Amino acid sequence: MLIRKNQTGFEHPVPSEITPQHFYSGRRDWLRLMAGGAAGAAMATWASREAFAQGAVAPVRPGKLAALAAVKSTVAGATTMEKLTEYKDASTYNNFYEFGTDKADPARNAGTLKTTPWTVQVDGLVNKPTRFALEDLLKLSAMEERTYRLRCVEGWSMVIPWVGYSMSELIKRVEPQGSAKYVEFITLADPKTMPFVGSRVLEWPYVEALRMDEAMHPLTLLTFGMYGEVLPNQNGAPVRLVVPWKYGFKSGKSLVRIRFTDKQPATAWNKSAPQEYGFYSNVNPTVDHPRWSQATERRIGEDGLFAKRRKTLMFNGYEAQVGQLYAGMDLRKLY
Ligand code: MTE
């Protein structure tokens, strides 16, 4: 995430300072083709597309972590047919500031994250506050595979087959009270296992929040896995949020507490740089970040010499499903 020197004095990089990925990925693609043979690589792509077209879930299961079985979701908009980002890219190009600010840091450093035992406290304005053990959360509802675009505010995007179920399933169990208007998502801040917690990069713990109707929307995914397996640590194990129509930072990783409240919560990036990151953070190509345009995006893995940036879509392409949540709102003011 990218902000200029903020109240904490931390200097964040801007996109132009990040090593252009094509410098190394072009060479990497070439090496891969040489190693596997161009025909072999084409066959593998064809086979995974074919399996996907036939309704198989998790077409690119890398086989490194425990498998997480799922059925293909029937929720409207839950499955884009766009080409999947390679697992290798999705699990090595990350934002998880608790483990460092470089894109490669989370994959390098998150091995220390201890994901068992794990509980998620769900409380605040609810009739049934509950501390859920991860094992119970895993059984709470049927796991679905949803292939969502994730678009980062920095101007890059990926297409990832996530595994989880609608956040609304969990919300219903705790019976929110009528006064609950917002849901706050609080993530782990453990200085013993997370080397950057305690640094002045952000205020810890990392906190995100949604309005109640956003949290209840069927596309909002309580996420336990990706590519048919449990989440790797660097992607937010053992449980995170994925909100596909918002910039990636709204999707908090390694959740430990979910709290229902009547007041709009202060969120990590908004506290850090309010002029750059608002509460809503809907993907919106017509509202520029104060320091760069949001009109286009770079799809990770498409960084060849001739790759063009893609046009960013309103609500990240989920306008038909979520546009009505914001009817009548001035999305320039409420960015
Ligand atoms: N959650 C926590 N706890 N800490 C973080 O630094 N970064 C956010 C979000 N969730 C972040 C987080 C940002 S800026 C993005 S773009 C996404 O995670 C990236 O998710 P990914 O690494 O799985 O692609």
Contact 296, 311 (CB under 8 A): yes
Find the 175 Cα to ligand 1 centroid distance in Å. Answer: 28
Contact 82, 59 (CB under 8 A): no
Is 333 inside a domain boundary?
no
CB-defined site of ligand 1, < 6 Å: 1, 94-98, 150, 152, 187, 206, 235, 248-249, 251-254
> What is the helix (H) or strand (E) element at residue 137, kind and residue range?
helix 134-139
Q: Which of 157, 249, 250, 272 to mutate to test the pocket of ligand 1 (most atoms within 8 A of CB)?
A: 249
Q: Which of 148, 199, 251, 298 to mutate to test the pocket of ligand 1 (most atoms within 8 A of CB)?
A: 251
d(CA 126, CA 174) in angstroms, rounded, equals 6
Q: Which of 253, 267, 271, 297 to mutate to test the pocket of ligand 1 (most atoms within 8 A of CB)?
A: 253
Find the 235 Cα to ligand 1 centroid distance in Å. Answer: 7
Residue whose CA is closest, atom 23 of ligand 1?
Answer: 235
**Which residues have a Cβ under 8 Å from the Cβ of 205 and sit 6 or more positions away?**
186, 187, 188, 189, 197, 256
Beta strands in 167-250 (DSSP E): 182-187, 207-211, 221-226, 229-230, 240-242
For residue 96, which atom of ligand 1 is closest to its CA?
6
Residue whose CA is closest, atom 22 of ligand 1?
Answer: 94
pLDDT tens-place values along the chain, 335 residues long: 755 554 444 444 444 333 333 333 333 333 333 333 333 333 333 344 444 444 444 445 567 899 999 999 999 999 999 999 999 999 999 999 999 999 999 999 999 999 999 999 999 999 999 999 999 999 999 999 999 999 999 999 999 999 999 999 999 999 999 999 999 999 999 999 999 999 999 999 999 999 999 999 999 999 999 999 999 999 999 999 999 999 999 999 999 999 999 999 999 999 999 999 999 999 999 999 999 999 999 999 997 777 899 999 999 999 999 999 999 999 999 99
> Which amino acid type is present at position 333?
K
Q: Give the dihedral of Cα atoms 323, 164, 242, 230; nearest 10 deg.
A: -160
Find the 57 Cα to ligand 1 centroid distance in Å. Answer: 24
Is 335 inside a domain boundary?
no
Is 334 inside a domain boundary?
no
Q: What is each CA distance from 320 to 72, 182, 220, 228, 280, in whole angstroms?
A: 20, 23, 15, 27, 18
Tell me whether the omega of the peptide bond preceding residue 205 falls within 30 degrees of 0, making it cis: yes
Contact 25, 32 (CB under 8 A): no
Residue 53's SS3 state is helix
> What is the helix (H) or strand (E) element at residue 71, kind and residue range?
strand 71-72
d(CA 198, CA 277) in angstroms, rounded, equals 22
- CATH code at position 203: 3.90.420.10
Is 131 inside a domain boundary?
yes
Is 219 inside a domain boundary?
yes
Going 159 to 165 to 170 to 172, the CA torsion angle's sign is positive
Q: What is the pLDDT of residue 3?
A: 55
Q: What is the pLDDT of residue 61?
A: 58
Is 32 inside a domain boundary?
yes
Contact 280, 331 (CB under 8 A): yes
Residue 198, phi then psi, degrees to nearest 5: 110, -25
Q: What is the pLDDT of residue 96?
A: 98
The range of the structural domain enclosing residue 169 comes to 3-326
**Which residues have a Cβ under 8 Å from the Cβ of 1 and sit 6 or more positions away?**
12, 95, 97, 153, 154, 249, 269, 277
d(CA 311, CA 253) in angstroms, rounded, equals 27
Find the 247 Cα to ligand 1 centroid distance in Å. Answer: 10
This prediction has a pTM of 0.86
Q: Sort strands 221-226 and 240-242 into parallel, antiparallel or unpaired.
A: antiparallel
Facing residues of 161 across strands? 147
**Which residues have a Cβ under 8 Å from the Cβ of 2 and sit 6 or more positions away?**
12, 13, 14, 15, 153, 154, 289, 291
Residue whose CA is closest, atom 12 of ligand 1?
Answer: 252
DSSP 178: T
Within 144-243, residue ranges assigned H as helices are 167-174, 212-216
Number of domains making up the chain: 1
For residue 235, which atom of ligand 1 is closest to its CA?
23
